[in-house]
Chains A and B, each alone.
Chain A
Amino acid sequence: EVQLVESGGGLVQPGRSLRLSCTASGFTFGDYAMSWVRQAPGKGLEWVGFIRSKAYGGTTDYAASVRGRFSISRDDSKSIAHLQMNSLKTADTAVYFCTRRRWEIIRGYYYYYMDVWGTGTTVTVSS
């Protein structure tokens, strides 16, 4: 069964750091890009960032709201992706979802979508 399980959430004070983990199973982790999406309490979904597979350089992209504070890494040998969150703000309080980012070629163009989601881990930033 294809599965993603997030861990590492919790209560943290503003300005501190936290590292989330996403453990994958049921598929060849190294073949896929991985993304993080968050959802503040009672709010909509916000794309946070993603990391490409090593075949595409393992490079990263981030939303403007977290760029410079958050970083994503991956350990393909352990099928784990990490979200390192530094200088946390109360606005970062949310459920954080890990997702598998997949692509498909349709009529000669690459289309990207998130087809597998974890159940999420809750991060609360508060003093």
Chain B
Amino acid sequence: DIQMTQSPSSLSASVGDRVIITCRASQSINSYLNWYQQKPGKAPKLLIYAASSLQSGVPSRFSGSGSGTDFSLTISSLQPDDFATYYCQQSYNIGTFGQGTKVEI
């Protein structure tokens, strides 16, 4: 099975900060990497698919990059609505998730 490892597990940031979350796959997954945002008590929301494609309706401050085994999600200027937990997910083979990164104030 492909293992997905996110870092950090949590981070503290302020409004306006640039935030970068990384995700590493245990083997090459080309660009088969998605990012989701989840707020407490809510369903996850798709942000980025195919490593760098922005889902319709998602603000442009979110961006994704990477290929092979190393990927990142960048929030260019953190907004109050962005405090949430973020998950990467590989879609190369079935659909393993990373363990999540909680972005706190």
Contacts and interface: CB of A to CB of B under 8 A. Distances in A.
Contacts of B34: 113-114
Given A109-B30, A111-B32, A46 B97 contact: yes
B46 A106 contact: no
A47 B91 CA distance: 11
B95 to A, nearest CB: 4
Interface of A: 35, 37, 44-47, 50, 61, 63-64, 97, 104, 106, 109, 111-115, 117-120
Contacts of B84: none
Contact of B46 (A45, A61, A113, A120): A113
A47 B2 CA distance: 12
Interface of B is mostly: loop
B91 A111 contact: yes
A64 B100 CA distance: 20
B97 A113 contact: no
Interface of B: 1, 30-32, 34, 36, 38, 42-46, 49-50, 53, 55, 87, 89, 91, 94-100
A113 B49 contact: yes
Q: In this complex, which of A46, A64, A111, A120 has the most chain B Cβ atoms within 10 angstroms of its Cβ?
A: A111
Contact of A47 (B30, B31, B55, B89): B89
Given A35-B95, A111-B49, A45 B100 contact: yes
Nearest to B30: A109
A119 B99 CA distance: 20
